[in-house]
Structure 1
């Protein structure tokens, strides 16, 4: 029979347990000052009177009169005995429960945590000994105080520096610090010649590292591998430091992409920044963020890749937006990331940009509106079809109602029509896209552009505002846009891979253009013989410009015809397009 569980183990287990994380996995909580609030899980109350205190690591339920620590909550909520609740917490922490007078089992997670803590101390000490690492941080503008606050260190350019420092290597291997050699033998250091950024969990424990190379390693940044302690999709760099920087509720959290972005923003007084760890934003990330604040600010580059990343984040965040939660998108000027921008413009101007960031509704409807011609019935119908799967991800509530209202205005429909579309659970067919074949009409501009791209796929990089091409409404332009989009996403693609990817009638049409021995009657001889590379570049640029001009004109005409009903976002777009048209006329 197992003996009594030592009090010291229970105390240590409670210290390891984050009661907010434990209860938040079972009860929906919302921050209220320094505490979190929700509906009682023990009664059927209508208004929240259940509180969780991160500082006290206790819960208080004024509806039922229950309160206690993590063990008490599990006993009440999961209907467990005391021993069963302790065993459940131990399982979550990765340790086995010892019993007095009996066998003391091996502690699974203590070793890796100790190894990571020792490694952090080692890397911090090495930073002071290596001038090249200090010089790199100074060059990036990082002060000694900031480096100390974030625990930044350095891994020497050695295969065994950390291995020699750690007395026991098994735990370091489990923590992802060392790598085992194939066939046995002494393990070696995973991180070498890298500035090291420790990644902490919600309790401040180091659970992994990110390392920035100072050499020519093709992997500029290297993260710890997935371990029982460290999961890239469930952890955020800088979250612990952001929580420690204030005793009040966080007004928002800024999600950036790099370690240095978080560090430099914090150094400038913007301590609310966190970074994903080399992966896209996940639902787990968002649930973690919204436990700390009601507003999330996504900060991305303003280029095509940045907008694509923003769209992926939008898709993940939609189901998490309810009860006053807010999400906005801030796009950076060309050539800047948060690190360089805050150093150039300062904290006040950076925060002003946050205040001007695009709300999720504006970003969603604006991006989808650019893909259609709102001046036509077909375009407005397509917009509704494009928006439907995104609106369906929103929970019933105020935000979904207001977005349906805005979509109804854009589509010139009643909100009841939008709601009916959302309520009808029949699958929405994809918008019909013309599939050019030899018998279908394709404009000369589009045909010629496709011919050139089949010979020079790299020229697709010249086209930036792809959505403006689609607005031109020339015959077959949707195929050209699809071709350019594919080549943007696959810069190494050839004509053969493009044709295979599109397939069907589209692929057959492109195949015919590619394999034709002579050009269309407009030209009368093979393309490769008629013009050289320089001629192709100039001609394609001219064709893209003509299509872009037509797209701008179509969009401007739409805005002029609906001037009384435009939103602020549409008015801004109208002004930008007018300026673009003036620049084109001036340049021409």
Structure 2
């Protein structure tokens, strides 16, 4: 897949030119309070402001949900932009010109595929049988051209001529999945034969694959491009690129996910330009991540038969870990053995709109799911339903959605309080060295001014004995560029500041003394590990090293 590469130094320079308070204030009204600016968090629902923006550090953090980062992170999370699009927007605001050589290069495979798509499209327009089929499906000429629908009738020789890669043409056609090697001999034949062709593009409108629908009785009825560097069916959605360009006067606040190509074409033709297809019965986690990056509201549409119910259940399970606080999800079920195109053709557009209005919300679908598993009213079935619901709810990361669903399930099952099993109080697990490294990095990123005051024995030991750790990389960066803001540090290190338990539990600013204590714990753990290792060796150099480590540890203990 093509990628835009912008040098890290240029990205850091762009971030340094942006005032994060002015940027965020364009989207979220901020109020100054002390050294910070505050607001109700844009990433979760709250009444008391817990979202803070620090101008001097060029950094934001929400003490409610843990959202945090710099200017790039904010645009990615708030506007659903890709990293590159966020950088481009900031560069434009900062007046920084991105050199032309940073434009993405189009892979030769995509260029070749695009040529063949053009050939198939022209072949369709000249084939009466293929055009008759599409007219029977009530597709307009405008839809056919807009989606570049085609017909596959090309021979191997024709495909090679279109490819224009000389001796490499066969390898190229194999690479993009347009030809198949015979099992009987060394010959090759076209993968797509006598099929209606549906070109598949990425969100940059680059050709990445094909879908083919058989005109005759050949099997399978639908055939997709094989897995390749260009195409991964589990990570793309048919017509997602069209949701940005079709019918610019029609604004949709959600995406409508259906199963097949014809469903998408029929829906777009009737004004539902927010329709995309998962190209499979259920929707994968990666596809869900992509969907939620584009829209906060998603409606999944399924057939009303058992296959549709199973697909909805699998989609629901893939969806739960990806839900955000602001996600709105709906499930639409159609009459048995009917897809959206069938409903439109047989019952009309109004009937389809009526079915969409009957969409189940997340809690309604969950209740339907647990009712289907245990449909009796006996106490044992109530318990089973509650336990089943908890199994699903535990997979949700969003605190708000988790709490709301729990409350809905209690209400549905008529539970006045959550039953608590009798169990011994368990101690919190001790923090590991990795945990301490993580916390030290959190504090040091937020307060780079602490670095010169850290005990030099500690920083010296980490530099010599723990060179590969992120903490050592961070200390070296601050030593080289001591005046960087937290936002610039994150960008320079390519580090994503995770939701730290330390930051979420400590509303007050962590002190230098706390940082020294944490780094001291890291060093002591490393010393103990080295002492154990050297103690097993029986030679004079090991004895000398062991003595030095013991003296160093004693000095740390006194400190």
TM-score (norm 1): 0.55
Aligned to 2:75: 51
List per-residue Cα deviations over 1:446-478 (Å, max 9, x = no partner): xxxxxxxxxxxxxxxxxxxxxxxxxxxxxxxxx
The CA deviation at 1:357 is 0.5
Aligned to 1:230: 231
List per-residue Cα deviations over 1:146-184 (Å, max 9, x = no partner): 000111011017454423433222322211112245698
Aligned to 1:68: 91
Aligned to 1:352: 354
Separation of aligned partners in 1, 2:289 and 2:347: 32
Kindly indicate whether the alpha-carbon contact (under 8 Å) linking 2:282 and 2:315 is maintained by their aligned counterparts in 1.
yes
Separation of aligned partners in 1, 2:312 and 2:379: 29
Separation of aligned partners in 2, 1:180 and 1:42: 57
Kindly indicate whether the alpha-carbon contact (under 8 Å) linking 1:380 and 1:410 is maintained by their aligned counterparts in 2.
no
After superposition, the Cα gap between the structure-2 partners of 1:182 and 1:334, relative to the gap in structure 1 and judged at 3 Å, is closer
Aligned to 1:577: none
Separation of aligned partners in 1, 2:214 and 2:426: 54
Pair 1:140 & 2:122 matched: no
Pair 1:259 & 2:235 matched: no
Aligned to 2:377: 375
Kindly indicate whether the alpha-carbon contact (under 8 Å) linking 1:236 and 1:274 is maintained by their aligned counterparts in 2.
yes
Q: Which has the higher contact order (CA 8 A, sep 6+)?
A: 2
Separation of aligned partners in 2, 1:369 and 1:420: 28
After superposition, the Cα gap between the structure-2 partners of 1:383 and 1:344, relative to the gap in structure 1 and judged at 3 Å, is same
The CA deviation at 1:374 is 5.3
> Aligned with 2:385: secondary structure?
helix
Cα RMSD, aligned residues only: 4.1
Separation of aligned partners in 1, 2:121 and 2:316: 37
Residue of 110, 115, 128 corresponding to 1:113: 110
The CA deviation at 1:373 is 5.1
- Which consecutive residues of structure 1, in runs of 5 or more, have no partner in the other structure? 1-9, 24-28, 74-81, 96-108, 426-588
Separation of aligned partners in 1, 2:139 and 2:337: 20
Kindly indicate whether the alpha-carbon contact (under 8 Å) linking 2:254 and 2:296 is maintained by their aligned counterparts in 1.
yes
Kindly indicate whether the alpha-carbon contact (under 8 Å) linking 2:255 and 2:298 is maintained by their aligned counterparts in 1.
yes
Aligned to 2:390: 388
List per-residue Cα deviations over 1:310-356 (Å, max 9, x = no partner): 11111111112222211111111133211121233443442332122
TM-score (norm 2): 0.58
> Aligned with 1:313: secondary structure?
helix
The CA deviation at 1:42 is 6.1
The CA deviation at 1:411 is 3.2
Separation of aligned partners in 1, 2:302 and 2:3: 43
The CA deviation at 1:121 is 0.7
Separation of aligned partners in 1, 2:188 and 2:282: 31
Kindly indicate whether the alpha-carbon contact (under 8 Å) linking 1:179 and 1:189 is maintained by their aligned counterparts in 2.
yes
Kindly indicate whether the alpha-carbon contact (under 8 Å) linking 1:404 and 1:415 is maintained by their aligned counterparts in 2.
no
How many residue pairs were aligned? 366
Pair 1:216 & 2:240 matched: no
After superposition, the Cα gap between the structure-2 partners of 1:143 and 1:306, relative to the gap in structure 1 and judged at 3 Å, is same
Q: Runs (4+) of structure 1 moved beyond 4 Å? A: 10-14, 37-42, 52-58, 157-160, 181-186, 246-249, 418-421
Separation of aligned partners in 1, 2:159 and 2:107: 19
Separation of aligned partners in 2, 1:417 and 1:162: 67
Separation of aligned partners in 1, 2:174 and 2:116: 12
